[in-house]
Amino acid sequence: MNVFRLSSLALVSISCAILPAAASEATPSGAAPQTYAMQALAPTIAAILGVPAPKQAEAPPIDRIVKDLQGSNKLAVLGVDAFGAAIWEKMRGKTPYLNSLATGANQAQLRSVLPSVTCVNFGCMITGGSQKTTGILTKDSQLQCEDLCSVLRANGMKSGGFGRKDYTGDRLLGRYADFSVADMASDQDVLAGMMEVIEAKKPEFVIVQYGKTDDVFHARGPFSQEAAEACAGADAWLEQLVPWLRARGYAILITADHGQHETAKKDGTTGGTHGTASDLDCLVPLVWLRSAERAN
């Protein structure tokens, strides 16, 4: 892995019955988005980029996304930490940009693998495996299965994994990708650093973790006023990043690792937590976009 030491950087990702990943119908207007297993994400990315899925992946590709993004030579996963489907529904007044991107035709949901925590689900995003398959217990765990970055490397492609210092995007994703950045204190620093890596190295696949949402949701609760402002910040980050990436030929997947639910703290205030099998913790948005050159 090549580590870029830069002063700034950033990139994105956004954590029902699970339908088969091969379902192809667009979501009818007003209907709940179709839900797929988190394990389907890595095989979907592999199919779009024209490489084999990681060997231990536990779900097939999502056909409708592969069809929509087929022919894309580069792809970016933007992961907004803890941005669950229920949180987005509650906070839509704070996410006008993301709302404008999502239609029934390019929107679904993923169900997080258990436990619904960050390292396990970002690990799943790059392997297609549940915790039993990946062996991921912490962000410093070693993967026990094949990962997408290795598959891409074997096929002559490069990858980038990004996140704030000591976050999963840094210590897990950055460890397995070809390119990362070091010592980024904020999501905006990550954004700037990631942009420099992309301009210089042009990796075919990038995945980034946006961390502030999870921090605020834990501290103040996922449906608090502070959470609303954190969602607005994530939306602004997406608005800065998505057009920039699309203009450089990247198809986009916006998703999350998990959601959150409210919990009472010892001091009587409300905080947030996750890790359970509940829909609040496990259902996360999935929005996909073609690159600008393939938009029409």
Domain ranges of the chain: 2-17+33-294
Separation of alpha carbons 284 and 113, rounded Å: 11
Span of 16-25, 31-40, 178-187, 207-216 with lowest mean pLDDT: 16-25
Q: What is the token pair recorded at 146?
A: 């094949």
Q: Mean pLDDT score of the chain, rounded to an integer?
A: 92
Question: Which pLDDT score, from 0 to 100, does residue 296 have?
Answer: 55
Within a 13 Å sphere around the CA of 39, how many CA atoms are in the beta-carbon half?
Answer: 21
Tell whether the torsion through CA atoms of 135, 141, 145 and 151 is positive or negative.
Answer: positive
H-run or E-run covering 111:
strand 107-111
Residue 89, Cα to own-chain centre: how many angstroms?
18
Distance in Å from the first CA to the final CA of the chain: 36
Nearest of 44, 64, 83 to residue 284 by alpha carbon: 83
**What is the model's pTM?**
0.91
Place of tokens 């088969």: 20
What is the spatial distance between Cα 45 and Cα 39, in angstroms, rounded to a whole number? 11
- Asked whether 277 and 116 are in contact (CB, 8 A), the reply is yes
Mean pLDDT of 63-73: 98
State pLDDT tens for residues 132-161.
999 999 999 999 999 999 999 999 999 999
Span 2-17+33-294 CATH architecture: 3-Layer(aba) Sandwich (3.40)
Higher pLDDT, 104 or 243: 243
Res 294: pLDDT: 67
Beta pairing partners, 209:
79
In tens, the pLDDT along 69-122 reads 999 999 999 999 999 999 999 999 999 999 999 998 999 999 999 999 999 999
Check residues 166 and 7 and name the one with the higher pLDDT. Answer: 166
Residue with the two structure tokens 């620093």: 189
DSSP conformational letter for 182: S
Residue 24 has what pLDDT? 36
